[in-house]
Amino acid sequence: MVTPQPDQRSPQRRTLDEQIAAEPQIPHPNVPLDALPSPLEDHLRQGHRQTLAVEGVVENGLIRLLDPAVKLPEHTRVIIVAAGGA
């Protein structure tokens, strides 16, 4: 059995954890009862566009894409990978 440890989170982290816990849960996918199991990645991939990698530069805290022809729709989810960040 695991021995309980004292909570050593900062007050800011504790507040953030409480906010995250209070968010509504993601609903279960609408899947027929006789459907075969599949990886979660297959479900998440449905209806999403192709993955795109673009280069950008940070200027005054904002990311500017280097290719002006790339246009991303509003509320597009992005993953930022930075080299040498501080």
Range of the domain at 71: 50-86
Number of domains composing the chain: 1
Within a domain: 7: no
Within a domain: 74: yes
Within a domain: 39: no
Residue 76, classified by CB atoms within 10 Å of its CB into exposed (0-12), middle (13-18) or buried (19+), is exposed
Residue range 22-50, pLDDT digits in tens: 988 877 777 788 888 888 777 666 665 66
Q: Is the pTM of this model over 0.85?
A: no
Within a domain: 58: yes
Within a domain: 6: no
Residues contacting residue 78 through CB under 8 Å, at least 6 positions apart: 72
- Of the two residues 9 and 28, the one the predictor is more confident about is 9
Within a domain: 20: no
